[in-house]
Amino acid sequence: MTESAVLLADSGLDGGATAPLPPADRATWTENDAQTEEKIDRDQLLVLSSDLIRSLHRRISGHRFRANKHDGTRLAVARALVQAITAHNQVLRDMEQEEIKDRLARIEATLETRDRDQKYLEQIEREQAKRRRL
């Protein structure tokens, strides 16, 4: 059963007219992934954008393109998806840059410590060499 089919339940009133499910039923629906904890990574974003591109390409690459009444809605949803993908990709990029900055800071701190330790060891060796000469 599709999501739209689940979201619309037959109320049995008004000659079988459909009514939306109550919000409580929508929130507890087993296939509702609005509150999923899993993060979307770049590979998944690439899959989403590739699917969108293929879908749009299939739509316009037939022998003859004929517009239909749903094209406006489809394009609006496609634009929203592209904006969401772009924003999500930017957040991922920002997170990766922060991670790189943190790693670089740790590497620099390690190198500074190593340099200090090296200088200290060289100083001790010079002092020991001095003592041996005396």
Indicate whether this model's pTM tops 0.85.
Answer: no
- Euclidean distance between CA atoms 97 and 91, whole angstroms: 10
Same domain, 47 and 113: yes
122 in the same domain as 70: yes
Measured between alpha carbons, how far is 72 from 86 in angstroms, rounded to an integer?
21
HEC profile of the chain: CCHHHHHEEECCCCCCCEEECCHHHHHCCCCCCCCCCCCCCHHHHHHHHHHHHHHHHHHHCCCCCCCCCCHHHHHHHHHHHHHHHHHHHHHHHHHHHHHHHHHHHHHHHHHHHHHHHHHHHHHHHHHHHHHHHC
If asked whether residues 78 and 102 sit together in one domain, one would say yes
pLDDT greater at residue 2 or residue 90: 90
Range of the domain at 10: 1-38
Domain shared by 50 and 99, yes or no: yes
pLDDT above 90 coverage of the chain, percent: 41
pLDDT, residue 13, reads: 44
Q: Domain tally for the chain?
A: 2
- Judge if 14 and 53 occupy the same domain: no
Same domain, 79 and 128: yes
Q: What is the pLDDT of residues 97-127, one digit of tens each?
A: 999 999 999 999 999 999 999 999 999 999 9
The tens digit of pLDDT for each residue in 60-103 reads: 887 777 888 888 888 899 999 999 999 999 999 999 999 999 99
Confidence band (pLDDT; 50, 70, 90) for 30? low
- Residues 32 and 51 reside in one and the same domain: no
